[in-house]
Structure 1
Amino acid sequence: MTSPERPPVAAIVALGLTQIIGYGSLYYSFSILAPDMAHDLSWSTEWIFGALSVALLIGGLAAPVMGTWIDRFGAGRIMTSGSAIAAAALVACAFAPGKIAFVAALIGIEIASNLVQYGAAFALLVQIRPRVAQRSITYLTLIAGFASTIFWPITTALHSHLSWQNVYLIFAALNLVVCLPIHAWLSRGVSETRKRGADEIAKHVEPSLHPSVRRPAFVLMVTGFALESFVNSALLVHMVPVMSALGLGAMAVMVGTLFGPSQVLSRFVNMVFGGGLSQLTLAIICAVLLPASLVVLVATAPPVLGALLFAVIFGLGSGLNSIVYGTLPLALFGSEGYGRRQGQIMSVRLVVSSMAPFALAFLMRNLGVSWSLSIAALLSTGAVAAFSAIMPMTRAVGGPRMVPDPGDA
């Protein structure tokens, strides 16, 4: 039996593949396909992103219940069901006869996203090996960081030959044929491991915050995540359109593809050199990188060099954010009830960020790209303040939890 002190490598690699497919097919592809969706439905592009916002909002409202299910039934079973729902929702979206059916299918896609993407995957890693979950989450995000790099070009290439409906049917097949069997296998593996070594699996990660400060710390943490999610959601959905609006033309997709490798780079650097950083310090660093990237883009556009630098800095910040989203709640509040807590965090993040794609599209249409990006930069600085406000609370009880050194046995 694998030692509970070592990350479950096979599970991490398998989850990495499903995260690439999950994020690529359910999220990153949308901005590429949205213009043709709008054309077929006789909607403006703003209304298509408005429909996405509604779907994100409903998915966010449902997230706390899903988090409870993860704790009760196990993340593996929930992710298996999520893969089936994702495939069905993509097929329903492709065959939607009108606007109402399209929006309903889009809601199904966002609900499925909550069941198969990072929130559920992080909970699965916590349930498999709680004591090494922080390291496992770092490894997982290192693999999954290639989702945008892989799926933006793939979606663009497929869409140059196929309708958006057929592209969605291909993505549905990937969720059904690849992701569902992997999640089912992981679900069985967790159940068998619990039967063989319940005492080892039961070892929990203890909270690092005093009970008296956990509630305000949780509110501040969720506020920081929500503000970052708003900016990330808006920019990731509109990455290629924003680059095009800034005059980059055919270079827009190339600039966007740098985002994924930058995410991976930040996670690799953190994995190798971040052993001495607390989770909270890591959260503050990634929060600073987001507004910094936007300042660079606004100050230098339209030259390509500035856009490339933006993509790199933005990718670095977003890459670290994906790690912190999973590890900071674990370090501050422990592993007990992790799925429920992730559901609560996901709910607030999605409800706040649900307005982001539509809001940015509206702002760009009425204020222009530069002013819109400046507003996004201002919002993201609020995350820096929120995470910084937690620091005195951790010092009062002995300091924040440290990131485990990936080299430790």
Structure 2
Amino acid sequence: MNERPPLAAIAALGITQIIGYGTLYYSFSILAPDMARDFGWSVDWVFGFLSAALFMSGLTAPYAGRLMDRFGTGRVMALGSVAASLSLMLCALAPNRVIFLLGILLTELSANLVQYGAAFAMLVEIGPRQGARSITYLTLIAGFASTIFWPFTTFLHEHLAWHQVYWLFAAFNLLICLPLHVWLSLYRRGGGRVLSASDATARSVAGLLPLNAQKHSFRLMLAGMGLIAFVNTALLFHLVPVLRGLGLGEAAVLVATLFGPAQVLSRFTNMIFGKNLSVLHLAVLTAVLPPLAILVLVLSYPWTFGSILFAIVFGFGSGLSSIVAGTLPLSLFGSEGYGARQGQLTLVRLGASALSPFGLAFLLERAGPDLVLWSLILLGLLSLGFFIALARSGNRAMQAAQPADRGS
């Protein structure tokens, strides 16, 4: 039976994802200059601390995923809301640099418990058979986090000090996200009935890949997703300086603003037209778009229209990568142990995201934007190679398993 996705749960998670990403991630770039001034650092140092915290957070992600599988994702997300609120309060109250750095670290550790990896696991836990479609709907809603919180944080910061903004954001996590996550921990399809073990097993989703092909395929997926995360984060972190270095001047800011709407558009397009596209083909398409977009930029700058096309294609690829990160592990490996797999994937993606801004900044300063862009194209093509290998390996494994399936 083709059941509907759990729309109430998706809406609740959409709210908590917008707040979670907005308060714990996107607001930081707006508030960082004043944080640096108050503690006597350069802005580069503050962003360096954030990158270190992201890396440390990634190391704990597999453990967080196992907690979700063991105790239920809703409970872990509720704990994450409390931790997020307390960490923001700690940053706001920090009397010295050490306490502030501890607060930043705890902020990113708590983000593991409330952001995409956890939200995807929650949707798979609630409705495994609708998990892929639910994840697509959720990423469409959560894609507005930067669109909402960049201007909202800027508005607040015009009237409040950064630590007062953090107090308000702590309240958002405690008073809005916590009740929603507690409700989600009790949520079940069919009026709140807690499922028995046999019911849960019956509703679980088997992976497309046979067990003997899963280990190799999982490694290919991690490598591909890690490289995509590196390329996306590296370029986004320095997008405006790179575009200006290519001679776009003030048009660089306009081009950069197109990235967010393109992300949302890609998710909406996939939701409407992507139903008949296999998850392996979607993964390959996701890997094609970043190097293609950067190649368009390299061949067209300083032509503004070419840069606009780059931003749209690049945003499209980034938007799809969030969907693939949630749906590919579910489709290939099944719903059992999904939280742990998301934890491992989060480790790889956060590790790449933490290292890439520094790597790109080092190369940008010494070699200029052209070499940076060609380097990212090569990394993007390497990622594409991993996903093509994954698709071929997966198709071979599924074809080899078909005779055994028909005989059972």
**TM-score of the superposed pair, with normalisation by structure 1:** 0.89
SS at match of 2:3: coil
Q: Which residue of 1 aligns with 2:406?
A: none
Residues 1:39 and 1:374: Cα distance change in structure 2 (over 3 Å): farther
Q: Which residue of 1 aligns with 2:89?
A: 91
Residues 1:12 and 1:377: Cα distance change in structure 2 (over 3 Å): same
Q: Which moved more, 1:156-165 or 1:20-29?
A: 156-165
Q: Which moved more, 1:94-103 or 1:114-123?
A: 94-103
Amino acid at match of 1:288: V
Q: 111, 120, 128: which one pairs with 2:126?
A: 128
Residues 1:360 and 1:90: Cα distance change in structure 2 (over 3 Å): farther
Q: Which residue of 2 aligns with 1:147?
A: 145
Residues 1:280 and 1:34: Cα distance change in structure 2 (over 3 Å): same
Q: Tell me if structure 1 keeps the 8 A contact 2:188–2:195.
A: no
Q: Aligned-pair RMSD on alpha carbons?
A: 2.5
Q: Which residue of 2 aligns with 1:354?
A: 354
SS at match of 2:275: helix
The structural deviation recorded for 1:248 is 5.8
Amino acid at match of 1:314: F
Residues 1:183 and 1:241: Cα distance change in structure 2 (over 3 Å): farther
Gaps of 5+ in 1: 401-409
SS at match of 1:317: helix
Q: Tell me if structure 2 keeps the 8 A contact 1:82–1:115.
A: yes
SS at match of 1:115: coil
Render the CA deviation track for 1:339-380: whole Å, top value 9, x for unaligned. 111111111222232212333333333333443333233222
Q: 8, 26, 29: which one pairs with 2:27?
A: 29
1:216 aligns with 2:231: no
Q: Which residue of 1 aligns with 2:172?
A: 174
1:81 aligns with 2:79: yes
Q: Which residue of 2 aligns with 1:406?
A: none
The structural deviation recorded for 1:22 is 1.1
**How does 1:236-315 map onto structure 2 within 5 Å?**
236-239=236-239, 242=242, 254-315=254-315
Residues 1:166 and 1:226: Cα distance change in structure 2 (over 3 Å): same
Amino acid at match of 1:14: A
Q: Tell me if structure 1 keeps the 8 A contact 2:143–2:264.
A: yes
Q: Tell me if structure 2 keeps the 8 A contact 1:53–1:355.
A: yes
Give, in whole Å, the separation in 2 of the partners of 1:229 and 1:141.
16
SS at match of 1:6: coil
Residues 1:357 and 1:266: Cα distance change in structure 2 (over 3 Å): same
Amino acid at match of 2:295: V
Give, in whole Å, the separation in 2 of the partners of 1:396 and 1:21.
42
1:228 aligns with 2:246: no
The structural deviation recorded for 1:171 is 2.1
SS at match of 2:113: helix
Q: Tell me if structure 2 keeps the 8 A contact 1:89–1:105.
A: yes
Q: Which residue of 2 aligns with 1:403?
A: none
SS at match of 1:290: helix
Residues 1:127 and 1:314: Cα distance change in structure 2 (over 3 Å): same
The structural deviation recorded for 1:233 is 2.5
The structural deviation recorded for 1:326 is 0.6
Render the CA deviation track for 1:79-127: whole Å, top value 9, x for unaligned. 1111111122122223333332222211111111111111000000000
Amino acid at match of 1:58: M
Q: Which moved more, 1:195-204 or 1:59-68?
A: 195-204
Residues 1:364 and 1:57: Cα distance change in structure 2 (over 3 Å): same
The structural deviation recorded for 1:279 is 0.7
SS at match of 2:160: coil
Render the CA deviation track for 1:143-190: whole Å, top value 9, x for unaligned. 111112222222233334433333323322222221111111111224
1:41 aligns with 2:39: yes
Give, in whole Å, the separation in 2 of the partners of 1:25 and 1:252.
26
Residues 1:160 and 1:313: Cα distance change in structure 2 (over 3 Å): farther
Q: Which residue of 2 aligns with 1:340?
A: 340
Q: Which residue of 2 aligns with 1:364?
A: 364
| Larger radius of gyration between Structure 1 and Structure 2 | 2
Give, in whole Å, the separation in 2 of the partners of 1:272 and 1:111.
35
Q: Which moved more, 1:387-396 or 1:134-143?
A: 387-396
Q: Which residue of 2 aligns with 1:383?
A: 383
Render the CA deviation track for 1:26-76: whole Å, top value 9, x for unaligned. 122222333333333333333222211210111011111100100011111
Give, in whole Å, the separation in 2 of the partners of 1:256 and 1:182.
33
Residues 1:95 and 1:16: Cα distance change in structure 2 (over 3 Å): same
The structural deviation recorded for 1:260 is 2.3
Q: Tell me if structure 1 keeps the 8 A contact 2:21–2:145.
A: yes
Q: Tell me if structure 1 keeps the 8 A contact 2:213–2:397.
A: no
Amino acid at match of 2:83: I
Amino acid at match of 2:19: I
Residues 1:19 and 1:260: Cα distance change in structure 2 (over 3 Å): same
Amino acid at match of 1:48: V
**TM-score of the superposed pair, with normalisation by structure 2:** 0.89
Amino acid at match of 1:342: Q
Q: Which residue of 2 aligns with 1:195?
A: 194
Q: Tell me if structure 2 keeps the 8 A contact 1:147–1:260.
A: no
Q: Which residue of 2 aligns with 1:407?
A: none
Amino acid at match of 1:355: L
